[in-house]
Amino acid sequence: MTELSTVHAATDELARTFAAFRAENDRRLAEIETKGRADILTTDKVERLNAEVGRLTDTVAALETAYARPGQARVKARGAAAEAHAAAFSLFLRKGIDHELPGLERKAMSVISDPDGGYLVAAEMADRIVTRLQEGSPIRPIASVMTITADAVEGMLDLGEAAAGWAGEVDARSETTTPPVALWRIPVHELYAEPRVSQKLLDDASFDVEAYLAQKVAEKMGRAENAAFVAGTGVGQPRGFTTYATAATADSARAWGTLQHVATGVNGGFAASAPADDLIELTYALKAGYRSGASFVMARATAAEVRKLKDETSGQYLWQPGLAAGQPASLLGYPVVEAEDMPALGNSSLSIAFGNFREGYAIVDRQGIRTLRDPYTAKPQVKFYTTKRVGGDVLDFDAIKLMKFGA
């Protein structure tokens, strides 16, 4: 079976399963309306089909990502300096021989050379790590990402608009107000991974230690990044967008530094009557200028609950599966991003985010990834202490809205 036919088969199965889910959920809703409760067998079938829709959605996304990833044979040719550095770095990983690395890094990468004992990873390995971080993180693809060579990035923030007025030909012109501006600053924090490899494996010439490290480092860093971008404290790590104070007030009346929430009025759930209205209100709390690039962000279990909701007027389901290549599932026409670090449904939980994260949240990467080889502290294992520096914070507090499952 070809790659394309495999994806088509998976999307066809997703479409069939979602159709079955809709039919059973319609039956469940009809039973509630006529008898006051749903039959337990119907409810169980709905839950099983709902879980299968979630699994197939993940499968389709994984297949599309895997087939879009460039293969090793298609890696672009490296220059002489990069080839020399890659060879020296491989020798350093396998044998700990590093006498060539300092000079090569000063020559080829002077901006990010590291004189204090760690070494920049080979470009190909760094690219693999970065690529897998982008594939594994649900927040990176929708946020703005900057790469810097300092320990922080700063910028000016426009907090208002200049005033304007009308005047006749000879009327006096009074001074108009000037919009306030502020400074924003996002520092980078050190993120590390420390995979171990046995010395025996390192001595085996057929073992691709660079590929192994790239995979393990990306997995470890990806999990840590995802958690921080959603719920990080901002102390020694990025600050997550769910950690800010929230208020029900609109943008014009809310203090800067506070995110707006829309409350369902029910702890841990949607309103019993017209639950879809809460989601519609959430989308329209976001200004029209932001909505064109907006996404929903929620955990898998929350998405499973949202899939059951229908528009009571039209009878249409609010959630639709992504059946075209590269197309994610959608809710009210907006993409749905599953992030398992989002809060689970609970009393006053902020379990759904909706916003233009490209405008609202910034991720800052410090250029360069480095590795320190340690063959001593865990013999016969060799530890590779690998670090990168990353930051993250909310830039525009009008661009992200949260749903509060409570009063």
**205-221 pLDDT, tens digit each:** 666 777 788 888 888 88
Q: Residue 71's pLDDT is what? A: 46
Task: State pLDDT tens for residues 15-27.
Answer: 888 888 888 888 8
Mean pLDDT on 385-394: 92
DSSP single-letter state for residue 336: E
More confident residue, 33 or 257: 257
Mean pLDDT on 248-258: 91
Instruction: With CA atoms as reference, report the closest residue to 276 among 348, 331, 215, 354.
Output: 331
Task: State pLDDT tens for residues 217-249.
Answer: 888 888 999 999 999 999 999 999 999 999 999
Longest dimension (CA), the chain: 89
Task: State pLDDT tens for residues 38-88.
Answer: 888 888 888 988 888 888 887 777 766 665 554 444 444 556 655 665 666
CA 306, 312, 316 angle in degrees (round to 5)?
65
Q: What is the mean pLDDT of the chain?
A: 82
Q: Residue 55's pLDDT is what? A: 85
- Token digits for 110? 């002077």
Question: Other CB atoms closer than 10 Å to residue 27's CB: what's the count?
Answer: 15
Q: What does each C-alpha distance from 288 to 291, 294, 356 come to in angstroms?
A: 5, 10, 11
Q: Burial letters for 227-263: b for 16+ Cβ neighbours within 10 Å, e otherwise?
A: bbbbbbebeebbbbbbebebeeeeeeebeeeebbbbb
Q: Burial letters for 265-292: b for 16+ Cβ neighbours within 10 Å, e otherwise?
A: eeeeebeeeebbebbeebbebbeeebee
- Token digits for 357? 């994260």
DSSP single-letter state for residue 179: P
- Can you give the pTM of this predicted structure? 0.77
User: CA-CA-CA-CA torsion for 105, 109, 114, 119, nearest 10 degrees?
Assistant: -60
Q: What does each C-alpha distance from 144 to 8, 222, 293 come to in angstroms?
A: 31, 17, 12
Peptide bond connecting 343 to the previous residue in cis, omega within 30 degrees of 0: no
Q: Residue holding tokens 């809703």? A: 29
Q: Residue 342's pLDDT is what? A: 96
Strand partners for 190? 389
Task: Indicate the pLDDT class of residue 178, thresholds 50, 70 and 90.
Answer: low
Domain 246-361+397-405: CATH class, spelled out? alpha beta
Query: Is the torsion defined by CA of 29, 32, 35, 40 positive or negative?
Result: positive
Alpha helices, DSSP H, located in 69-137: 80-95, 101-108, 123-136
Question: Other CB atoms closer than 10 Å to residue 317's CB: what's the count?
Answer: 20
Contacts of 77 (CB under 8 A, 6+ apart): none
Instruction: With CA atoms as reference, report the closest residue to 401 among 356, 336, 334.
Output: 356
Instruction: With CA atoms as reference, report the closest residue to 403 among 256, 226, 228, 268.
Output: 268
Contacts of 141 (CB under 8 A, 6+ apart): 134, 337
User: Would you call 320 exposed, middle or buried from its count of C-beta atoms within 10 A (0-12, 13-18, 19+)?
Assistant: middle
Q: Residue 198's pLDDT is what? A: 87
Q: Residue 11's pLDDT is what? A: 81
Contacts of 130 (CB under 8 A, 6+ apart): 369
